[in-house]
Amino acid sequence: MNSLNLASPLAPHIQNLIELRQLCGKDYRSQAKLLTYFDRFLVQENVKKAHITRQIIECYQRTLSHLTPRSQANRFCVVRQLCQYLALHDVDTFIPEPMKRISADTAHKPYIYSHLEVQSLMNGALALPPVGSLRPYTYHTLLGLLYSTGIRISEACNLNLESFHADKQCLYIAQGKFRKARWVPLHDSTRQALAHYIDRRLGKKPNAPADPLLLHRHGRRLCYSTVYYTFRHLLDQCGITGPTHTNPRIHDVRHTYAVHRLLAWYQDGQDINARLAILATYMGHVDIRSTQLYLRPTAELLGHVSDRFHDYYLRTVDSKGGTL
């Protein structure tokens, strides 16, 4: 992975660790990116030796203080893995203790967008400059896909033109999280919207089947950093701020999809427990526990839960001949 542009004295060791992890069959791309931050820190601190000390680790921890607890833990975890790897050859390498487990109270609380807020964001996307370019339609389509399918932002950015199978009314996610491939069925309205976007998209190059479906205005694949700043602009434009100390994120659209899907099932009188496994598969989760993390209580959702429990209670009391 030469594209990482590692430059510190530990660069060869970092490269070796990444390659070793990948040879073991692990998708180590996200961890590799986190290691580049540590490599950059070493360069900025003018570290001259390929040796990690307690002082280096403590100094690096202080530079992470502006991040959320979960982001701090993720960056620190891969650095600790690097220390453990280096200790195999350098017994004097300092290996820090693991960071404490992040509690639910300190973890980021997802923001659940309302239907009106989602519509506002999509309308705002259509007004993005430059006028007459593909860019407004790209972001309008991106937001629509995220909200109607619940796919990850990374999966959306990695879609190719050949990923859309109009005849099957599906998207094919070739490599999701943990390198899992899956088919994602589309609602007919989503299929039509995506087909209309592709009609416009095919007028721009590159447009071979293996080329990006969602195209940057400079003819490249959309990347997360570009999407992040554009989404922040749309949030500001739409006046969506969230509660105190909570910054709505584009990943929260995936949380919103899960909550709204659950709400629709409650409204339709569906068996929620039976359908959670379907939702987990659809969202590309390894098991149902990952899906449960996406299900956040909202006032509307809790109202339906309360009504269903009340109806169940009344039926149970009546069947036993009781009175209220």
d(CA 61, CA 53): 13
Bond prior to 69 in cis (omega within 30° of 0): no
Examine the fold and report which residue of 38, 69, 87 is the final residue of a domain before the chain moves on.
87
Residues with catalytic function: 152, 177, 251, 254, 285, 294
Residues 215 and 270 in one domain: no
Q: Do 129 and 231 fall into the same domain?
A: yes
User: What CATH number is attached to the domain comprising 219?
Assistant: 1.10.443.10
Give the pLDDT confidence of 149-192 residue by residue, as tens digits: 999 998 999 999 999 999 999 999 997 776 688 999 999 999 99
Most confident of 96-110, 239-253, 296-310: 239-253
Query: Domain range spanning residue 190?
Result: 115-238
Considering the domain boundaries, does residue 108 fall inside one? no
Cα atoms in the 13 Å half-sphere on the side-chain side of 240: 24
Give the number of domains in the chain.
3
d(CA 314, CA 323): 9
Distance CA 163, CA 151 (A): 13
Domain membership of residue 161 (yes or no) is: yes
Do 120 and 214 lie in one domain? The reply is: yes
Contact 176, 210 (CB under 8 A): no
Residues 33 and 69 in one domain: yes
Q: Based on the domain organization, do 70 and 168 belong to the same domain?
A: no
**Cα distance between residue 163 and residue 185, in whole Å:** 12
Same structural domain for residues 126 and 195?
Answer: yes
For residue 104, being part of any structural domain is answered with: no
The answer to whether residue 126 sits within a structural domain is yes
Of 238, 260, 295, the residue at which a domain comes to its end is 238
Decide: pTM greater than 0.95. Answer: no
Residue 299 lies in a domain: yes
